[in-house]
Structure 1
Amino acid sequence: MGRALGRALLPALLLLAGGPAASAATAGEDGRRPVVETDRGAVRGREQAGYRTFEGIPYAAPPTGPLRWRLPEPAARWAGVRDAGAPGARCVQLPAVGPGEPSGSEDCLFLNVTAPVGGPAEGEARRRPVMVWFHGGGFMNGAGDLYHPGRLAAAGGAVVVTVNYRLGIFGLFGHPALGGAPDFTLADQQAALRWVRGNAARFGGDPGNVTVFGESAGGLSVCLHLTSPASAGLFHRAITQSGPCSLSAPARSLLPTMGAYEPFVPEHRTVTDGLAAAVRLGCGRPSDEEVLRCLRGLAPGALATPELMLRFSPVSYGTALLPAEPRRALERGEFHRVPVVQGSTRDEMRLFLGQTLGAFPIPDPQAYRARLRAAFGARAEQVEAAYPVAAHPRPALAFAAVLSDASFICPQLRDSRALARHVPTYDYLFDDRHAPDFAGLPPVADFPDGASHGCELPYLFDTGLAMSAPQRALAERMTGYWTRFAATGNPNTPGSGPWWPRSPAVLSLAPGPSGIRPVDAAAEHHCALWDSVARTP
């Protein structure tokens, strides 16, 4: 159990095409059930207060049977009006946290559209900006319908699309019989973006103004699109939330048996794992054709095991869709020239570390030093000098600060320096240390969540969580920043700035009169130290 937990914990918790333009839902209105004609057939959605939703729209054919582990193919056309009043099936996955059986379906390549009611306001462009959301979940769980973007549509005036994509072994398997590791997960997302290009105008959106955004694995997905040649022309702006291209976690940082967390791995590693997995599954056949026939004949439950879903959660590079390791591509300037917003939360790693403290506590300074030595070796004393235990309420919180800065915040700022050499780049640090409990995990004694991983999501999406008046005001400001950036490539709105392109300052986002302000995040989070650690062979 310890080894499986060690391999699983970090990724498992990384959660939680054109035709004539038509105004949103002009055809076949039925009370509060608007109808839109897509390029595959008509869909009937639902009208809410200020926005309309169209859910469960297929953007590709079901990747089942002989289409398992094939690049996505076009969805079939349908006759009549398809009901789009409820989400489609989620992709096969295991529970985000804890034991449990697989859920979902391989027939899962659906997306959801949320659009403002009515046409653009007077003085606005004829079509609205489009925002395409890729969910988090470590590439192992999650779904587009978990995120409700009504505020982004009604208050921000954006057409928002949330997407399902294949997960774990179903999306990131590799084997010589497949010609390598084709990155089906990335291919699914690109197919969804092509659907957006062909259908956005039918929902009142501008297919020439598409922003990709996502958090955690969704943020890593945005990184993939920035650096995948096949994503060229499919989007025009990018927002990466808690998922920088350089994200990593050192070995033994959370658990003694846990290796380094790497979201992107070379293709040959995935193929080697795929060969071994096929043999264990009883499909070590003499020919590639027989191997695939055997693997495609297995029930989804035989593939959706914790070990296999975890092993095939990293994305392969050195492939046709992702030729280079993303962080190296950024360093070399090999990415699409679009404006970028990047951000992290101040206490990213508290979410992950807190779930391990029961089994592997950090009760005193000696235990803290031992954890530093295990994670950073010869650099441990240097790290302790920058993060003295006396500067934190307890040793575990000192270690959480170390991991947050080393794994998320400083890698983000390092990536932003590379981006800013070529494109406008805006950085934020979310710092509401009393944010609503979005993760819903059991509390850990004497270990507050703070501004942990994912806690900015209720400020953008409708979660139903209670907020104070200052927090609601922050949510309004953030909605304005995100949708203004989607509309113009600049997040500033009248009276809400300044948030300027890349400079030493980062915009801190917190509630209260002085909560939104520039900070020197690189200095406050010891990024000179972590940059030197990253350069160490």
Structure 2
Amino acid sequence: MVQVCFVFVTCFFLAGIVSSVDFPRVSTKLGDINGVYSTVSFKNREFKVKRFLGIPYAMPPVGKLRFKKPEPVEILSPNPFPADTFGSPCAQVDMFGQKIAENSLTEDCLFLNVYAPHQDPDKVTGHAVMVFIHGGGFSLGTGNTYIGDRLASVGNVIVVTINYRLWIWGFLDFNDERAPGNMGLWDQQMALKWVNKYIESFGGDKDRVTIFGQSAGAISVGLQALYPKNKGLFQNVIAESGSPTVMSLVKNINENIQPAAYLAQLLNCRTENNEQVFECIQKSDSESLFKAFKIALADPRLFWNIMFTPTIDGEFLKSSPVKLVEQAKTDAPAEVEFFRSLSFINGLNGDEGGMWIQMIDGTKESYEDLKLSQEDLDDNIIPSILPLVTASRVKDSNVLKSLISSKYKDWKTPYEPKNIAKQAVKLLGDIYFTVPGIEIGRLHVNGPNSGSYLYRFTAGVERHPIPTPSWMDLGNHADEIGPVFGYHLDFDWFGGIKGEYSPPEWEWNLSERMMTFWTNFAKYSNPNGQDGSNSWPKYTIDREHYLNFDRRDHVGQYLHADEVDFWRKIVPMVEEQCHDDKLSAFSRKSSDTCDAEGGCN
């Protein structure tokens, strides 16, 4: 049985055992960087890995740089820089009970980690590079929990994980120099610039860079892939369970000032104007902001009142991704042209909506016995999502509620509470993940030379990163992360899984297949490898093939075509007829664009 190692620093550094030269060192224009060696095993094979942890890629975003765009590091101090321990996670708020957020109030957090294999690269130009952007709803998480040793070793690539600013620290937007917005996205780009500039010193090929991310990280890589000025920083994109076309995710500027005003009220500040609100936020330390968040979170109905997400800032995002989808139907804008110039793997899990169970019922003990009535679905859950999927943002429409209720009713056992809960999971998964995911895939594949691949992950893994009841068996949100990283994760942070964990043999085999596909894509822009075999067929607009990951993989077609048609055609059409609204939710023209000076139309 393969043993899983979750240590964070290599055990070679025991006093008196390792000589002073038994560590990897690289020389960069920033200075010398000393790392540590690690050994990992995978399926009875042992690998040696070079780790460089906690490297600052930007100046600390504190003091005058708080809420500002990141500024690059010009020199590392001390020299040589000891890259042997992780840097601090970014200050964050705890939405779902992950223990790390309770201790993460540090704003000096813009660090990255480099995992380099000890093997020779596959090309003389160096190893292909994979940069991972973590998820967490733009509010929590850290690159430190995704250990890149196994992925780097088995696939013979360099893996980079990063921190970026979260929640109010990363996405406060006052539409001026005080807080220009999207700081977290600019942090990600700064990390990509760092990789482009310095990864050759670690043996990497700066012209073979793949960005990949999960959930909000997948949304992030999608947004980075829609920013034309990123040209040359990466060539391939992998989005695991996330699309920037999620309705109401990307906000206009005023929508991100509202939660700031709400927090200022909780901090007992005056809020008659934006200047008072900003002054209040700016003078509040991380602990005070975190306490205000906890107060607001006590009422689940106020959850969305305190969330900060990317905004249409007129620079990084000049238009909402939903708007770009509409524009591309007639004439593809520059953002879409850049996106289509990249190779793209897009993926969805079988039961994506499982992550919202905590919003349906907030007690972990009740997940297994969660029972919903049809009234719960019709009168609570469906009305809560209507503003996200309608042009007029209606909260109450009997026609739409009836239409959606009928669509998501299990007509074989319509009154079985457990099956109603399953249908609620499907509904929420379709709204937030599957329909936007297929939509972004279709946007990409419409290009003349697009290299597109689609997957579905339905494997019922033994352990889950987020709480998952046994009645969900198609792969919850985030379940693919374990296989992608060779089960080298801080599982204790994710799901409270204590100690070392070794999955069953079939999961090790699944992990090997997925890591091979992912790293082949990084090397060759084709998950099938250099020979381009068709075990994973391309996703094309006429055939829409996808690869389903399970105990045994298989190829399918037209994934979620029915759901996309329902939400993108039928629901807007019914709304127009019922509400005499000429603008569908997917061609909204108000507050959907901004110029570089911040003026919105």
Scaled to the shorter chain, the TM-score interval is: 0.7 to 0.9
Match of 1:505 in 2: 544
1:453 aligns with 2:477: yes
Contact 1:174–1:273 (Cα < 8 Å) also in 2: no
SS at match of 1:521: coil
Residue type of the partner of 1:435? V
SS at match of 1:37: strand
Q: CA deviation at 1:96?
A: 4.2
Q: CA deviation at 1:169?
A: 0.9
Residue type of the partner of 1:222? V
| Equivalent-residue separation in structure 2 for 1:489 and 1:429 (angstroms) | 19
Q: Which of these residues, 57, 67, 84, is aligned with residue 59 of structure 1? A: 57
Match of 1:394 in 2: 419
Residue type of the partner of 2:29? D
Answer with 222-231 or 304-313: which moved more. 304-313
Q: CA deviation at 1:299?
A: 2.0
Answer with 289-298 or 300-309: which moved more. 289-298
1:39 aligns with 2:38: no
Contact 1:56–1:84 (Cα < 8 Å) also in 2: yes
Match of 1:266 in 2: 252
1:298 aligns with 2:298: no
Answer with 455-464 or 357-366: which moved more. 357-366
Could you list the per-position Cα deviations for residues 14-48 of structure 1 after superposition, in whole angstroms to 9, with x for gaps in the alignment? Answer: xxxxxxxxxxxxxxx95541111233121111112
Relative distance call for 1:292 and 1:230 in structure 2 (3 A) is farther
| Equivalent-residue separation in structure 2 for 1:199 and 1:92 (angstroms) | 27
Match of 1:6 in 2: none
| Equivalent-residue separation in structure 1 for 2:404 and 2:124 (angstroms) | 51
Identity of aligned residues (%): 27
1:77-476 maps to which residues of 2 (within 5 A)?
A: 77=75, 78-98=77-97, 101=102, 103-121=104-122, 124-175=123-174, 178=177, 181-248=180-247, 262-274=248-260, 277=263, 281=267, 295-304=281-290, 305-306=292-293, 307=296, 311-331=306-326, 332=328, 333=332, 334-335=335-336, 336=338, 337-353=341-357, 356-357=360-361, 362-371=371-380, 374=383, 375=385, 377=397, 378-391=399-412, 394-422=419-447, 423-432=450-459, 434-441=460-467, 444=469, 447-448=471-472, 450-461=474-485, 462-463=488-489, 465-476=501-512
Answer with 368-377 or 215-224: which moved more. 368-377
Relative distance call for 1:293 and 1:456 in structure 2 (3 A) is same
> Could you tell me the TM-score, scaled by structure 2's length?
0.74
Relative distance call for 1:281 and 1:66 in structure 2 (3 A) is farther
> Could you tell me the TM-score, scaled by structure 1's length?
0.82
| Equivalent-residue separation in structure 2 for 1:437 and 1:355 (angstroms) | 21
RMSD of aligned residue pairs (Cα, Å):
3.0
SS at match of 1:341: strand
SS at match of 2:560: helix
Match of 1:13 in 2: none
Q: CA deviation at 1:357?
A: 3.4
Segments of structure 1 that go 5 or more residues without pairing to the other structure are 1-28, 249-261
Could you list the per-position Cα deviations for residues 353-374 of structure 1 after superposition, in whole angstroms to 9, with x for gaps in the alignment? Answer: 2552368965344544445653
Q: CA deviation at 1:518?
A: 2.2
Q: CA deviation at 1:534?
A: 6.0
Q: CA deviation at 1:179?
A: 5.8
Segments of structure 2 that go 5 or more residues without pairing to the other structure are 1-18, 40-46, 298-302, 387-396, 490-499, 576-583, 585-601
1:482 aligns with 2:518: yes
| Equivalent-residue separation in structure 2 for 1:172 and 1:52 (angstroms) | 34
| Equivalent-residue separation in structure 1 for 2:412 and 2:29 (angstroms) | 59
Could you list the per-position Cα deviations for residues 331-368 of structure 1 after superposition, in whole angstroms to 9, with x for gaps in the alignment? Answer: 43323221111111010012312552368965344544
Q: Which of these residues, 552, 563, 566, is aligned with residue 529 of structure 1? A: 566
| Equivalent-residue separation in structure 2 for 1:458 and 1:466 (angstroms) | 11
Relative distance call for 1:105 and 1:496 in structure 2 (3 A) is farther
Answer with 402-411 or 145-154: which moved more. 402-411
Relative distance call for 1:180 and 1:365 in structure 2 (3 A) is same
SS at match of 1:531: helix
Match of 1:48 in 2: 38
